[in-house]
Structure 1
Amino acid sequence: MRLNTGLAKKPPECLEYILVHEPAHLLERTHNARFVGLMDLYLPHWQHLRRQLRQLPVRHEDWAYRIRGIPARRACAEAARPRCPRR
């Protein structure tokens, strides 16, 4: 399971929703009644959190911090680029 680094800028309660939602997919792949039941069981107020998360902006273009002196957006792009192993 991989999480988007942009989630670090979201409210902690929204992260809780993601951290319950994604593992629930290990038990149920689709968003069917069984999935909803799992969410209700482990995070009863999940629908409120989902609405809250959906109202937040998707991207944060104005990241103020830097990674190793490189602007964060470029550092993330470089980290995502596949690299060939050195011989």
Structure 2
Amino acid sequence: MKPVVSALNAWSCVVVSVAAIIILSIIGGLFNANHHSMVGSTKDPADGKAVAGSVFAAVIVYAVFLVFCGFQAFLHVRQSKKGAIELR
């Protein structure tokens, strides 16, 4: 199978996806626990559990991106070990 995206794009997507999963998981956990820093003001949402559900849905989307881009990066690594010449 041939990669669909370039190696640079694949590895960049892996890094961004991992960072987003970590950051959004922390934010979702804070909303899920109704932490005062997230729901303590009058302008903040009242139902932290509903917001946490939306944030965790975004985590799932980034996990799908991570799997796809990780597979693309794996294909690039496997292709480069075969000694194939890559034109840029």
Greater helix proportion? 2
Greater strand proportion? 1
Which has the larger Rg? 2
By relative contact order (CA 8 Å, sep 6+), the higher-ranking structure is 2
Normalization by structure 1: what TM-score?
Answer: 0.31
